[in-house]
Amino acid sequence: MLGVVLSLLAFLFLAFAINARASISSPNINNWVGTGSNESAFVLQWNDGKSPGAIAWGYRWNPGAAPTLNQLIANLLAANAGIYARGDSSGSYGAGYYGFGYDTGLNNTFSVNGGLDADGNPTTISFTNGFSDMNSDNTTYQSPGSSTSAAPTNSQDRYQEGWNDNGFWELYTSTSTINPTSWSTSWDGGEQSLTADSWYAYTFSNSDFSSNPPVLPTPTPG
């Protein structure tokens, strides 16, 4: 009888170990959006000389049909998490992102000056649920005529924009439950499905379009 009980306990322990899923536990993530037992992380890394260079957010979702990276971003934008994005919703890989911003004071007063439309004409960048869509008729894939002058109105905020000039936002992915130390460039775009315990990072390249792999801040010991 004792042998049967021990075997049952061993089976239950093994089943628990198989079904137990690791979760992201990064000291860099203080803001989580969504609900569910699966977790993914999203990182933005600017190249603007301000600190911290990168900021991370967490996203929770339920098992089953996994949301896409675009859905993760849309939920973060709409959650008043401080993130803003400018792009085109009509791309073949989903939204093409030309600019990412961050409201440092989290006071919902984020704005950008020096914005241009796809023809290079001055334009006012307005955000709806955190997103500024350059495409008005959903029939063409557009990009800013030039992006070198786009900057946050508040100098404490973050914003960089690029596509044809001034650099671009490059996508990286990694898998880790704490802070990734190894990243891979991803060309799958925003239509890729999320996987649990994975990280997705958009980083702004150098002005000559050379890459800036993600570097998360090292937490200061308490």
Indicate whether 132 belongs to any domain. yes
pLDDT of residue 185: 95
Asked if the structure places residue 10 within a domain, the reply is no
pLDDT number for residue 7: 44
Tokens 């060309």, residue located: 187
* Any domain includes 213: no
Give the range of the structural domain holding residue 162, as residue numbers without chain letter.
Answer: 30-204
Residues 6 or more apart from 149 whose CB is under 8 A from it?
Answer: 113, 114, 115, 116
Contact yes or no for 102/83 (Cβ under 8 A): yes
214 lies in a domain? no
Q: What pLDDT score does 10 carry?
A: 41
HEC assignment per residue over 143-157: CCCCCCCCEECCCCC
- Helix (H) / strand (E) containing 6: helix 2-19
**198 with 165: CB under 8 angstroms?**
no
Count of structural domains within the chain: 1
pLDDT tens profile 75-96: 999 999 999 999 987 765 566 8
**Residues 40/23, Cβ–Cβ less than 8 Å:** no
Q: Is residue 5 part of a domain?
A: no
Within a domain: 15: no
The helix/strand/coil state of 55 is strand
Asked if residue 43 is part of any domain, the answer here is: yes
In the prediction, which pLDDT does 183 show? 96
In a domain, 192, yes or no: yes
pLDDT for 142-169, tens place per residue? 788 888 899 999 999 999 999 878 899 9
pLDDT of 6 strictly over 60: no
